[in-house]
Amino acid sequence: LAKTTQPISMDSYEGQEVNITCSHNNIATNDYITWYQQFPSQGPRFIIQGYKTKVTNEVASLFIPADRKSSTLSLPRVSLSDTAVYYCLVDNDYKLSFGAGTTVTVRA
């Protein structure tokens, strides 16, 4: 049973903000929410992780509502180089489960 549900693909243009929402209705109390980014021919790379409310780093923001049943990754002012697959994961130990991810395509 998949732990997360996210859109298969999203299109955007340079300079826009991209928001990817992930659904995780069965999230457990101890689960953290983590997002990874993967470029073609590379392994995934950690972007951001959070437990509740809002987390921000130099790359993205992660918004988590109080019920934690969903989360939104926000990429501000995307560029062509942000074209990648983005994975949403929920887990509380060292074993992570990756789904199919969301392919984000940024156009000029």
Q: Which is nearer to other proteins, 17 or 97 (CB)?
A: 97
Which of 20, 27, 44, 84 contacts other proteins by CB under 8 A?
Answer: 44
Q: State the first-to-last Cα distance of the chain, in angstroms, to the nearest integer.
A: 38
3-state secondary structure of 35: strand
Which of 1, 29, 43, 67 contacts other proteins by CB under 8 A?
Answer: 43
Q: Which is nearer to other proteins, 13 or 51 (CB)?
A: 51
Residue 41 touching other proteins (CB under 8 A):
yes
**Structure tokens given for 11:** 């299109």
3-state secondary structure of 60: coil
